Amino acid sequence: MIGTVSHIGKNTGSGHYVAHIKRGDKWVIFNDEKVAYCEGPPSEHAYMYFFQRTDTMGSPNPNY
């Protein structure tokens, strides 16, 4: 897993969405204008999960 999108608030009609992205071995939270390192994403509350295939790491795949 290299990223998540999570919701902060009571319901999807109100509140706020934030993204957590893995950069190297550290996690970064993107919250509007605030960008900071964090311990890790709240995976159990994420709406979207982003994964990277191991066979695509390091070089582009010409088949895409």
Report, as residue numbers or ranges, the catalytic residues: 16
**Separation in Å, CA 4 to CA 16, 20, 22, 59:** 14, 5, 9, 23
E strands in 1-64: 3-11, 14-23, 26-31, 34-38, 46-50
Taken as a whole, the chain contains a residue count of 64
